[in-house]
C-alpha cells in the first residue's frame, strides 16, 4: 500500500487498500482544551508508522484516543479499525478487536500482579516475561509498584506480547530505558511487529535504530504537519527542528 | 473462679466502648447437646463443606491437630500422630480441670469486666479451645480450629487460651462460621501468651451470615524475642462485628503484627481495629488493614500504637469504597516516651478510573476490571504466611470475595 506525501491539512486517507486503522477528521479535547484538530491518518495492514513531535503536540492524546480512554473526548471525526467503526466503542471492545497500547505513564495498581494480566491471554507467563527481559519474579509483583522506568516499559511490552494485538500503539516505549536494554527490547519488538501494524510514538527516536518503520508523521499543534519516509522526516527534524519543517 | 464471676456479674450490663450495643437477652442460651464424632469425615456434608470454606480440612491433611466446636459442644479434638508431645489441643473446660496452672492464665490478658460481652463469656461459658505448643516445638503443619454455629438464635460464648511456650514455633488457622443462620451472636475471648523466643501465627477466617453479630475480644502478651502475628479475614456479610485485638509487646525485641482483610457488603457493619502496646526495648509492631466496602456497608478500620517503651511501629490502612458504602479509617499514635518511633499511613477512596481504564485496555470489561482490583486489594499475600498455607487462604479468600462481588 502506498501513501502519497501530501501537504499538511490534506487528507492522507487512502481508500480501497488493506487499511488497519483509519482516522478521519479527528478532533479531540480534554475538558475545554482542544488537543487534536483534524487528524487524518491511515495505517495499513502490517505497516509501522512513527509519530514524532514536540512535547504537548498531542501524540499521547492520539494514542489514548485510539484506545478509547474516556477522558479524551472525540468532538468530531471517525475512527475505523479493521473495517469497523469503533468511534463509540469502549476500551475493552477495542482491545478485543486487536488494539494494544503500551502506556507512556502506566499506573501502579496495588494487589494486581503482572502475572494476573498476562495470564488473561496466555498460560506461558514465564516465556512472555523472559521475552520482555523480565525475571519471573516480576510476574508476582504488583503492577508497576517499585518498577524502574525501564522495567515499566518492559512490563508494557510483556503485556502486549501476551495480547498479540493486530495494531500496537507504542507510546514513548524508548524513554527511560538504558541503551543496552533498548537494544534488546528494540530487537524483540521489531520481530514482534512482523505481521502486525504499529503506530510508534517517540520523542527521542531511539527505537528507530532497531525498528523498521514504513512512514513517519510530524504532529504539531494537534495536526499532522508532515508525512513521509522516516529517514527523510527525521533528517529534516534534525536539520531544522520541529517548528521549521 | 468466684472472683471472676463477681467481676463479671458487676459488668453484666456494661456497654462496650465501640460497636453497636446488643441486647443479650435476645439470644437463646438453649443449645442442643451434640455428640462427639470420631473424625471430621463424619460431619454432615453441608457442614463439612462450610468448614472447608473457612480453612478447616476434613481430612486433616497438612494439619497437626484439630479442634471442632459445634454450637456449645466440643465434638472433635485430636493431635495427629507425630505431633504428640509438640502440641496439645483440648477444650478450655477440660484444660481447667486437667491443669491447675491454667487458672494462672485465665482472664489474665483480657479483663473479665471489659464489657458485657466478656462478662457474658464468664457467666455463660460455652467452652472454647486450649492450645499449647510445648517448649522448643517447631511445628511445620498448622493446627486447625473450627467454631461452628448451626442453631438459630443462640449465643456462642467461647473462651480460648493459646500458649506458645518458650522457643516454640506454631501456626494456627481458625475458621468460624454460621452458614444460613438467621440470627445469632458469637462472643470469642482469646488470650494469647507468646513466650520467650516463640513465634505464633494465628490466622482467623470468619464467614458469618447476614443476621449474625460477632464480638471477639483478644489480647496477646508477647515476651522477649517473640513474634505474634494475628491475621483476621472477614469477607462475607454479617450483621455487626466489633473487635480490637491488642498485643502487649512486653519483651525485648518482641514483635506484634496485626493484619486485617475485610470486605463489607450488604448492610454489614464492621468495626475492626488492631492495637499494639510497645513496652519492651526494641519492640516492634505493624498494624495493617486492607478493606473494601460496597453496597450499604460501613467499616471502621482502627489502629492504635501506644509507645510506652523504646520501640517502633507503623499503621498502614487502605480502603476502597464502592456504591453507597462508608469507610472510616482511624489511626492513632500515642507516643508516651521520647524513644518510641511511631508512624501511620491511611488512604481511603474509590477505585481510580485510570486503573480501570488500564485493565480495560487489556481486554477486561469494567466489572471484570473492578473485580480484579478488589481481589488484588484483599490479597492474603500481605499476611506473611508460609507458601502452602497462603495458597490455601488465597483460595478461600478468592471464593468468598467472588461471592460477595
User: Options 3.10.129.10, 3.90.950.20, 3.30.70.1710, 3.40.50.300; which CATH number does A19-238 get?
Assistant: 3.40.50.300
In this predicted structure, what is the pLDDT of residue A207?
86
Does the beta carbon of B355 lie under 8 angstroms from any beta carbon of chain A? yes
Average pLDDT over residues B347-369: 96
Give me the long-range contacts of A235-238 (CB less than 8 A, separation at least 24). Answer: A237/A52
Q: CB A90 to CB B364 under 8 A?
A: no
* Residue A31 to residue A33: CA distance in whole angstroms: 6
Cβ-based contacts of A113 with chain B (< 8 Å): 376
Q: Taking the domains of chain A in order of start, what are their residue ranges?
A: 19-238
The answer on pLDDT for B60 being more than 70 is yes
Cα–Cα nearest to B405, from B289, B347, B288, B322:
B322
> pLDDT, tens digit, for every residue of B185-226?
999 999 999 999 999 999 999 999 999 999 999 999 999 999
**Chain B (87-106) residues lying within 8 Å, Cβ to Cβ, of chain A:** none
pTM value is: 0.87
In this predicted structure, what is the pLDDT of residue B1?
61
SS3 (DSSP) at B396: helix
SS3 (DSSP) at B74: strand
* Residue A17: pLDDT band with limits 50, 70, 90: low
Distance in Å, alpha carbon of A98 to nearest chain B alpha carbon: 9
How far the first Cα of chain A sits from its last, in Å, is 25
Distance in Å, alpha carbon of B118 to nearest chain A alpha carbon: 37
In this predicted structure, what is the pLDDT of residue A131?
93
Distance in Å, alpha carbon of B165 to nearest chain A alpha carbon: 35
Average pLDDT over residues B304-328: 96
In this predicted structure, what is the pLDDT of residue A129?
96
ipTM of the complex: 0.92
Nearest CB neighbour to B362, from listed A69, A71, A95? A95
- In 3-state terms chain A splits into helix, strand, coil percentages (rounded to 5) of 30, 30, 40
* Residue B353 to residue B359: CA distance in whole angstroms: 10
* Residue A203 to residue B373: CA distance in whole angstroms: 32
Average pLDDT over residues B45-50: 93
Q: Between helices A149-163 and A179-193, what is the axis angle to 10°? A: 10
The answer on pLDDT for A200 being more than 50 is yes
Among chain B residues, CA nearest to A112: B376
Other C-beta atoms lying within 10 Å of the C-beta of residue A55:
8
In this predicted structure, what is the pLDDT of residue A245?
67
**Chain A (53-82) residues lying within 8 Å, Cβ to Cβ, of chain B:** 67, 69-71
How far the first Cα of chain B sits from its last, in Å, is 47
Distance in Å, alpha carbon of B245 to nearest chain A alpha carbon: 25
Among chain B residues, CA nearest to A103: B358
Cβ-based contacts of B379 with chain A (< 8 Å): 111
In this predicted structure, what is the pLDDT of residue B392?
87
Average pLDDT over residues A96-120: 96
Average pLDDT over residues A151-156: 94
Average pLDDT over residues A16-41: 92
Average pLDDT over residues B15-30: 96
In this predicted structure, what is the pLDDT of residue B387?
83
Mean pLDDT of chain A: 89
Cα–Cα nearest to B185, from B302, B344, B26:
B26
Report the C-alpha dihedral over residues B277, B193, B379, B386, rounded to 10 degrees: 130
The answer on pLDDT for B16 being more than 80 is yes
* Residue B165 to residue B181: CA distance in whole angstroms: 37
Average pLDDT over residues B79-98: 96
Does the beta carbon of B367 lie under 8 angstroms from any beta carbon of chain A? no
Other C-beta atoms lying within 10 Å of the C-beta of residue B32:
11
Contact predicate B311/B277, CB 8 Å: no
The answer on pLDDT for A12 being more than 70 is no
Size of interface A-B (CB pairs under 8 A): 69
The answer on pLDDT for A65 being more than 80 is yes
- Tell me the HSE value of B301 on the side-chain side, using a 13 A CA sphere: 33
Q: CB A112 to CB B359 under 8 A?
A: yes
* Residue B272: pLDDT band with limits 50, 70, 90: very high
In this predicted structure, what is the pLDDT of residue A2?
34
* Residue B321 to residue B15: CA distance in whole angstroms: 30
| Three cell numbers written together for B197 | 523466643
Q: CB A109 to CB B376 under 8 A?
A: yes
Contact predicate A132/A115, CB 8 Å: no
Q: Which residues contact B219 (CB under 8 A, 6 or more apart)?
A: B109, B110, B190, B191, B192, B245, B246, B247, B248
Mean pLDDT of chain B: 95
For testing contact with chain A, the best of B261, B351, B363, B380 (most A CBs within 10 A): B363
Does the beta carbon of B352 lie under 8 angstroms from any beta carbon of chain A? yes
Cβ-based contacts of A142 with chain B (< 8 Å): 376
Distance in Å, alpha carbon of A191 to nearest chain B alpha carbon: 21
* Residue A11: pLDDT band with limits 50, 70, 90: very low
> pLDDT, tens digit, for every residue of B364-400?
999 999 999 999 989 898 888 888 889 888 888 888 8
Q: Between helices B387-404 and B366-377, what is the axis angle to 10°? A: 140
Q: CB A111 to CB B360 under 8 A?
A: no
Does the beta carbon of A110 lie under 8 angstroms from any beta carbon of chain B? yes
In this predicted structure, what is the pLDDT of residue B219?
98
Amino acid at each position: 500500500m502506498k501513501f502519497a506525501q501530501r501537504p499538511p491539512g490534506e487528507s492522507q486517507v487512502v481508500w480501497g487498500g488493506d487499511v488497519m486503522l483509519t482516522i478521519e477528521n479527528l478532533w479531540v479535547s480534554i475538558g475545554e482544551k482542544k488537543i487534536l484538530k483534524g487528524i487524518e491518518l491511515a495505517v495499513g495492514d502490517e505497516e509501522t508508522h512513527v509519530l514524532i513531535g514536540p512535547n504537548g503536540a498531542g501524540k499521547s492524546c492520539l494514542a489514548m484516543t485510539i484506545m478509547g480512554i474516556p477522558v479524551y473526548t472525540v468532538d468530531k471525526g471517525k475512527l475505523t479499525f479493521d473495517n469497523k467503526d469503533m468511534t463509540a466503542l469502549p476500551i475493552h471492545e477495542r482491545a478485543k478487536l486487536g488494539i494494544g497500547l503500551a502506556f507512556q505513564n502506566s499506573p501502579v495498581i496495588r494487589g494486581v500482579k503482572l502475572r494476573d494480566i498476562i495470564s488473561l491471554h496466555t498460560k506461558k507467563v514465564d516465556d512472555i516475561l523472559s521475552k520482555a527481559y523480565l525475571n519471573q519474579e516480576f510476574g508476582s509483583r504488583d503492577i508497576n509498584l517499585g518498577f524502574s522506568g525501564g522495567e515499566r516499559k518492559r512490563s508494557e511490552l510483556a503485556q502486549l506480547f501476551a495480547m498479540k494485538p493486530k495494531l500496537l500503539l507504542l507510546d514513548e516505549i524508548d524513554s527511560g530505558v538504558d541503551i543496552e536494554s533498548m537494544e534488546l527490547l528494540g530487537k524483540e519488538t521489531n520481530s514482534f511487529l512482523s505481521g502486525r501494524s504499529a503506530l510508534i510514538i517517540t520523542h527521542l527516536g531511539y527505537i528507530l535504530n532497531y525498528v523498521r518503520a514504513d512512514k513517519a508523521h510530524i504532529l504539531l499543534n494537534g495536526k499532522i504537519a508532515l508525512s513521509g519516509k522516516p529517514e527523510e522526516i527525521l533528517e529534516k527534524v534534525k536539520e531544522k527542528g520541529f517548528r521549521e519543517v | 473462679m468466684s472472683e471472676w464471676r463477681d467481676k463479671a456479674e458487676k459488668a453484666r450490663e456494661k456497654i462496650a466502648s465501640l460497636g453497636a450495643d446488643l441486647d443479650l437477652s435476645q439470644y437463646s442460651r438453649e443449645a442442643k447437646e451434640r455428640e462427639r464424632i470420631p473424625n471430621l469425615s463424619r460431619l454432615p456434608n453441608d457442614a463439612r463443606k462450610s468448614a472447608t470454606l473457612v480453612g478447616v480440612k476434613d481430612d486433616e491433611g497438612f494439619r497437626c491437630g484439630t479442634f471442632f466446636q459445634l454450637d456449645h459442644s466440643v465434638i472433635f479434638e485430636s493431635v495427629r500422630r507425630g505431633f504428640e508431645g509438640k502440641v496439645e489441643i483440648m477444650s478450655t473446660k477440660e484444660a481447667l480441670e486437667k491443669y491447675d496452672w491454667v487458672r494462672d492464665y485465665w482472664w489474665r490478658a483480657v479483663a473479665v469486666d471489659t464489657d458485657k460481652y466478656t462478662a457474658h463469656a464468664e457467666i455463660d461459658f460455652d467452652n472454647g479451645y486450649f492450645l499449647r505448643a510445648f517448649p522448643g516445638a517447631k511445628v511445620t503443619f498448622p493446627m486447625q480450629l473450627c467454631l461452628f454455629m448451626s442453631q438459630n438464635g443462640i449465643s456462642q460464648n467461647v473462651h480460648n487460651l493459646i500458649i506458645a511456650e518458650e522457643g516454640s514455633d506454631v501456626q494456627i488457622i481458625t475458621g468460624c462460621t454460621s452458614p444460613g443462620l438467621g440470627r445469632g451472636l458469637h462472643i470469642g475471648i482469646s488470650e494469647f501468651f507468646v513466650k520467650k523466643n516463640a513465634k505464633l501465627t494465628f490466622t482467623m477466617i470468619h464467614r458469618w451470615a447476614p443476621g449474625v453479630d460477632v464480638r471477639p475480644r483478644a489480647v496477646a502478651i508477647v515476651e522477649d524475642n517473640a513474634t505474634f502475628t494475628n491475621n483476621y479475614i472477614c469477607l462475607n456479610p454479617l450483621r455487626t462485628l466489633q473487635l480490637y485485638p491488642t498485643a502487649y509487646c512486653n519483651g525485648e525485641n518482641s514483635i506484634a503484627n496485626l493484619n486485617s482483610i475485610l470486605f463489607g457488603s450488604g448492610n454489614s457493619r464492621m468495626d475492626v481495629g488492631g492495637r499494639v502496646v510497645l513496652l519492651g526495648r526494641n519492640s516492634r509492631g505493624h498494624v495493617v488493614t486492607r478493606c473494601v466496602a460496597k453496597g450499604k456497608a460501613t467499616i471502621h478500620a482502627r489502629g492504635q500504637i501506644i509507645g510506652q517503651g523504646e520501640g517502633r511501629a507503623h499503621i498502614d490502612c487502605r480502603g476502597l469504597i464502592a456504591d453507597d458504602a462508608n469507610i472510616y479509617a482511624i489511626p492513632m499514635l500515642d507516643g508516651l516516651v521520647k524513644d518510641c518511633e511511631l508512624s501511620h499511613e491511611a488512604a481511603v477512596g474509590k477505585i481510580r478510573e485510570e486503573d480501570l481504564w488500564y485493565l480495560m485496555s487489556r481486554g477486561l470489561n469494567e466489572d471484570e476490571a473492578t473485580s480484579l482490583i478488589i481481589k488484588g486489594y484483599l490479597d492474603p499475600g500481605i499476611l506473611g504466611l508460609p507458601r502452602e498455607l497462603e495458597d490455601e487462604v488465597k483460595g478461600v479468600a478468592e471464593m468468598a470475595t467472588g461471592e460477595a462481588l
